[in-house]
Structure formats: C-alpha cells, structure tokens
Amino acid sequence: MTMHAWRFDALSSLADLTLHDEPLPVPLRGEVLIRVCAVSLNYRDIAPVLGRYIWPAKPGLIPCSDATGEIVAVGEGVTAFKPGDRVVSCFHARWLGGRPPFGMMLQSYGTGSDGWLVEFKVVSQEAIVSLPDNISVRDGATLPCAATTAWNALSGGTPVRAGQTVLTLGTGGVSMFAVQLAKAVGATVIATTSSAEKAERLKALGADHIVNYNDIPVWGQHITREVTHGTGVDCVVEVGGPATINQSLDAVRWGGEVVLIGFLSSENPGIDYFHLKGCGATIRSVAVGDRPMLEELLRVWTVSGLSPVIDSVFSFAEARAAFQHLQSGSHVGKIVITVND
Ligand SMILES: NC(=O)c1ccc[n+]([C@@H]2O[C@H](COP(=O)([O-])OP(=O)(O)OC[C@H]3O[C@@H](n4cnc5c(N)ncnc54)[C@H](OP(=O)(O)O)[C@@H]3O)[C@@H](O)[C@H]2O)c1
C-alpha cells in the first residue's frame, strides 16, 4: 500500500516542495501508525528555504511539526493509545521534560527528520499526546508549536499574573496565541502591528492597546512613556528578533522578562551591552516547550474555551499554495492544511 508525502527535494525555493508516492510505514515496538488529519504551518517551515533558519536544515525531508491525526495501528508494547484515538503531535519528539536532550534542535521535524505533511506517519507513542474531545482536528493542529510557545512565554519563567502587562509583536501565529492566552490569565495586552486592518483584528481578539510600528518606529520608549505611564511592560513575547530587540528592551520594566522566541526581522543592528544590562529584565530564550508544556497548554485551552485564529485552510493537494501564502506574510494567525479531515 502507498501514500502521498510532500518533501522539500532541495531548499532553494518553494518550487522544491514536491509530492511523492511512498510505501505506508509500519509501526514497530512502542510506535503508532497515525492517519494524519490536519497540519498547520509555522514560520520555521519556510525559514530554511528563505535561508533564514538558525539551525542546519537538511534537504529531502517532509516538512511541518504541527499535526493532528487518528491512530490506525499500534506496535507491540504500546499502552498509551489504541486505534481510533485522536492525537496531536509534540513539537519535540524526544523532549519529555527536564533539560532538553542533547542534539534536540538538530532533529526537529522538517529540518533534521521527516515531519507531518504526509498522509500516514509512524512515531513513538511518546511523541504524541491525546487531543481533548472538545478540540477539532483543525484547531488542534494549530497548537503544538505556536500556542505552546506562547504559553511557555507567559508561564514558563516568571508566570504572568492578572493585572500585569504583556507586549506582543505582530499578528503571526505565536503572537495571536499570546494575545488570547494573556487575556485569559487577566493581563493587559499591548500589541504592535504594521497596519490599521491588522490592528482591528487585534482589537477584536481583546488587545487593549495597539501600536503601529510603521507610524511609531521607536515604539519601545513610546510604550514605556505613553502607554504604561513610565513603568514598562512585565513580559515581552519577542518574535521579531535582531531588529526589534532594542525596542523590546526599551519597553520592558525593571524586573520584567523578555522572552526570546523569533527571528522574523532581517536587519541586525546589534545590541549594546549596557542597554541589555540596564533594562533590568530577565532575558529567557525558549525552544517551544517540552511535552508537559503541550499537555498543560491543552488543559488551559480546553478550560478557557478559546478558538485559534485560523487565517485560511488549504487542501493537501494545495500545500505549495499554503506555503506561498505563509511566505507572503499577509496572513493573520494560523494557516492550516487538511490531510484526511
Ligand atoms: N523559539 C521558539 O520556541 C519559537 C517557536 C515558534 C516560533 N518561533 C519563531 O517566532 C517567529 C514568529 O513565528 P510565527 O510562526 O508566529 O510567524 P508568522 O506567523 O509568520 O508571523 C508573521 C507576522 O509577524 C509580523 N512580522 C513580520 N516581520 C516582522 C518584523 N520584522 N518585526 C515585527 N513583526 C514582524 C507580521 O505581523 P504584523 O504585520 O502584524 O506586524 C507578520 O504577519 C518566527 O521567527 C519563528 O521561527 C520560535
């Protein structure tokens, strides 16, 4: 029996993403065979093709880390799941908790090992968790990377408390989840964005203050002085990277936290040591989160009754168009590809 799989045969452009016919994999001891239902895209899925990924990336692999599916067969010794169970992928297949396993970032789905943009996939029973009944396979597929990262940013260091202030950057996947989750814990949200249309989407999601970074390029000081009346924010969910970090350091309060997540910006003006030291904040770099962080996020998501912001849904056959849409940057929130929905 065969199945279809999308692979980046090379990493020079999105045209390198091609459909292959491949044998159906067989689950061995401790493994499960999953019929993939839905996949969602993250910036890192196109970063290698743009030459913008910060870790080595191998050509020839199936892309995508985020998926939901249904178990169709289990290997010998599998006790956690049975055929028919709905599951969601863990971003890191081997990070079960504690300090990350050595070499983890070199084995990530799509860049170091085959990912989830495929009709059927075999993984270890430890590389997935149960999808709660009240979360659809489309919604669930948006949660492993962006939502877990946002939850890690808000809760994994000094947890954000009700009444504190969170700064989010832009309207991509991580940031939209960060707005929703920060509001769910009772925080005030300040969000930056590039356009008035996107500002409306942020307002509708509950953001309290919006700053257009095209209108106010030095938004860090503006947020501290004008929006927080001299205090600064408690937590910055930093997805912009080298070109936004200086503004984020200006926006954070003494004793706050800047969570280093992304690298969307291409300019790299550098950081002044005294600026970094002088901001008085904790700087914490995160790599999505471990398996317990995903499980916690699923519990929080379930009790909060939230729905992910899904920008668009593409069929499995339209996968390349979905990647092109991600590359355009015109999306707000998540792009989903249905596989066997
Ligand atoms: N370390 C981790 O654990 C982790 C986990 C997940 C993601 N990431 C990284 O985090 C970043 C965001 O990922 P994502 O999937 O949410 O991306 P995404 O959905 O592609 O986000 C795109 C949005 O970000 C905003 N943006 C683009 N360039 C920007 C810039 N120079 N400065 C500020 N905002 C900019 C734009 O929104 P506006 O037009 O509204 O500004 C754009 O629509 C990526 O670099 C990704 O690789 C890291």
Q: Is 264 in the pocket of ligand 1 (CB under 6 A)?
A: yes
pLDDT value of residue 341: 76
| CATH superfamily label, 2-144+308-338 | Medium-chain alcohol dehydrogenases, catalytic domain (3.90.180.10)
- End-to-end CA, the chain: 20
Element (H, E) at 277: helix 273-278
Q: Residue 27: CB within 6 Å of ligand 1? A: no
> What are the structure tokens assigned to 333, written together?
């929130």
Locate tokens 């009772």: which residue?
A: 186
Q: Which atom of ligand 1 is nearest to 264's Cα? A: 45
The C-alpha atoms of residue 87 and residue 229 are separated, in whole angstroms, by 46
Q: Where are the domains positioned within the chain?
A: 2-144+308-338, 157-285
Cα dist. 323→102, 170, 271 in Å? 30, 19, 32
Residue nearest (by alpha carbon) to ligand 1 atom 10: 262
Task: Give the pLDDT score at 132.
Answer: 98
> For ligand 1, what atom is nearest to the CA of residue 175?
16
Query: Which ranges of the chain have pLDDT less than 50?
Result: none
Count of other CB atoms within 10 angstroms of residue 73: 17
Q: Is the CB of 48 under 6 A from ligand 1?
A: no
Which pLDDT score is estimated for 266? 87
Ligand 1 atom closest to the Cα of residue 260 is 1
Burial per residue of 302-320, b for 16 or more beta-carbon CB atoms within 10 angstroms, e otherwise: eeeebebbbbbbbebeebb
- In angstroms, the CA 295 to CA 97 distance is 11
Whether ligand 1 lies within 6 angstroms of the CB of 39 is answered as no
Give residue 166's Cα distance to chain centre.
18
Q: Which fold has domain 157-285?
A: Rossmann fold (3.40.50)
Dist CA 33 CA 1 (whole Å): 14
The residue whose C-alpha atom lies closest to atom 26 belonging to ligand 1 is 170
The token duo for 186 is 């009772």
pLDDT 10s digits, 18-40: 999 999 999 999 999 999 999 99
CB atoms within 10 A of CB 217: 10
Tokens of 22: 């491949």
d(CA 169, CA 178): 9
For residue 324, give the H/E element and its range: helix 319-328
Structural contact between residues 104 and 92, judged by C-beta atoms closer than 8 angstroms? yes
Phi, psi dihedrals of residue 164, rounded to the nearest 5°: -85, 175
**Which segments within 84-232 are labelled E, that is strand?**
86-89, 120-124, 128-130, 165-169, 188-193, 209-212
